[in-house]
A and B are shown apart, each in its own frame.
Chain A
């Protein structure tokens, strides 16, 4: 930038008014782009700090070990919502993770290119279905004529997880070097042994990342549970044939109240949720970084 002063004769570096203007515009645009990134990071910071500040003052041991209490009483907790979320997400993962991984294996190892891209397209579309619509679907499928249930909620969450797990699995599986597979096949291993004992272990880290990101995503989902597992009985429920409480739905209910205590409880629940989700995200990404370096080193 200061070069022109030392070599004023060079036509390339001559600063006339036009060049100065172009440089000023350039600097302005660079500043705006930097600002945009700063703003995005700042918003993340502001949201997280608000939740931390408001949540920490409301959180205590009772909060974790007690269930909700009737409106107006003190000392309520979200034990039932924590247990409910654990069960809902656990059941959803038990359904979506194996099927998702199998879909990933199918499109990466077995399907022809056309079938593979058609399946992936369908799953991308499924991924784009608004989660509240997924809730309505499961409501129509399982809840109408019956009752809301943990199963219905878990299935709704599983439908949201499925495309995430499948896509992540596919993307890691195609990264596994062909030479590794060919090595297995050349040694006389059959296709399925090669897949199960060479390809899957190599890709395991990346597939775990996909599964963890999917868990982090649905742990915070409210909309699919509203019509499937939201109207819950009192106390800590663990039987998924009844509607189960969940942390996000609890926050949603608490937010509609105008009482300070209920809002404090919502902040504490939000703190718990956001810490869990963000830590899981960071951990999953770190894991992916490590395992993709590993795949890279086997190349």
Chain B
């Protein structure tokens, strides 16, 4: 490393002075410009999506959000059904992915043999690397028959008295979308949760074990309370991911915008509707209405991500000062 510096001794005379004096401001200027580009792209993105949505917004106003009619022929557009679909599939996926992710994080930080931790963590993260279009296609061909022939009939026969699990089993609809979104959110939620778990001070964990707690009791009484806010951050990050997934959901959700009590029913989400109309949008009002959907989606995703990032970064900031700021009475000994 040092050898590369010897070519630029401080005393080599006037001819390198100009280059060296200019070098600093140039590099500083270039890098600053790049940062500005990054921030400006975000600003332009938000501005442009809202601008594109303006025609639809001035036509329908906020009633767009409550109207469930999406009828390009009659120039009537509303987002209520898509909001419903987005809410059901995202929260449904989180409801399943949350506990699984926490369990995986516990396995990776507390249970797995040291040598197995990295490989297993990598495999779980690779799940997130599967392109969503591949996962969606797998959902159509492999998952849909399993869901319509096995999972939904089973749920229906046991829990059919709950409206959630009533109706005719079908391979396409809200339930398959939830399953696909679960697969897509588990890697990110479990990775962030694992990072948060790793910030729990060893003294606290050992303290609990020394007091005779079993491993699960230590997890329940030390790790989970300590990591609570971080886990919330991880979940919201997963929510942001689930809200915005377009392709895989579009492929399995069945595209019938409706509000239904049954998970077996078909639906549509904000993102899946936008994706499915990529060839069909012709009038400027329809395009603007799609942009309106995108704007709603953007706001939801921005809020979710901002909150999640703030929570997670605050959690990781807490690490150096852990014992003082630890949110539990047993946290005194260091």
Interface residues of A in 205-235 (CB under 8 A from B): 216-217, 219-223, 226-227, 230-231
Beta-carbon contact of A129 and B136 below 8 Å:
no
A98-131 with Cβ < 8 A to chain B: 99-100, 102-103, 105-107, 109-111, 115, 119, 121-131
Interface string of B17-29 (1 = CB under 8 A from A): 0001001101110
Closest 4 CB pairs of A and B: A130-B244, A220-B131, A188-B10, A128-B305
Query: B330 in the interface, Cβ–Cβ < 8 Å?
Result: no
- Measured CB to CB, the residues of B under 8 A from A are 1-2, 4-6, 8-11, 20, 23-24, 26-28, 30-35, 37-39, 41-42, 44-45, 48-49, 51-52, 99-100, 103-104, 106-108, 110-112, 120, 122-124, 126-127, 129-138, 140-142, 183, 186-187, 190, 212, 214-217, 219, 237, 240-241, 243-247, 251, 271, 274-275, 278-279, 287, 290-291, 294, 297-298, 301-302, 304-306, 309
Residues of A within 8 A of B120 (CB): 37, 41
Question: Which residue of chain B lies nearest to A221 when distances are taken between CB atoms in the complex?
Answer: B131
Question: Known contacts being A99-B34, A190-B23, is A223 close to B275, with CB within 8 Å?
Answer: yes
Residue of A nearest to B105 (CB): A33
User: CB-nearest residue of chain B relative to A298?
Assistant: B1
Shortest distance from the beta carbon of A94 to any chain B beta carbon, whole Å: 14
Against B, the Cβ 8 Å flags (1 = close, 0 = not) of A21-62 are: 011011001101111110111011011101100100000000
Partner of A39, one of B8, B27, B100: B100
Among A48, A99, A110, A274, which residue has its beta carbon within 8 angstroms of that of B38? A99
Q: How far is the CA of A171 from the CA of B8 in the complex (A)?
A: 28
Given contacts A33-B107, A198-B4, contact A226 B275 (CB under 8 A): yes
Among B35, B127, B279, B306, the most chain A Cβ lie within 10 Å of the Cβ of B35
Kindly provide the distance from the CB of A92 to the nearest chain B CB, expressed in whole angstroms: 13
Judging by beta carbons under 8 Å apart, are A128 and B240 in contact? yes
Bound complex: CA A235 to CA B127 (Å): 34
- The smallest C-beta distance from A20 to any residue of chain B, in angstroms, reads 11
Q: Which residues of A contact B39 (CB under 8 A)?
A: 119, 122
Check if B6 sits within 8 Å of A187, measured CB to CB: yes
A166 to B39, CA, bound (A): 12
Contact A196–B27 (Cβ < 8 Å): yes
Instruction: Determine the chain A residues whose CB is within 8 A of the CB of B112 once the complex forms.
Output: 37
Chain B hits for A132, CB < 8 A = 244, 246-247, 271, 274-275, 294, 297
Are A133 and B294 neighbours in the complex by a CB distance under 8 Å?
yes
Q: Mark A177-205, 1 if CB is under 8 A from B, else 0.
A: 00010011001111111111110011000
Enumerate 13 A-B pairs (CB-CB under 8 Å) in ascending A order: A29-B219, A33-B111, A37-B120, A51-B134, A106-B31, A122-B42, A129-B42, A130-B244, A191-B24, A194-B5, A222-B133, A255-B137, A270-B133
A163 within 8 A of partner (CB)? yes
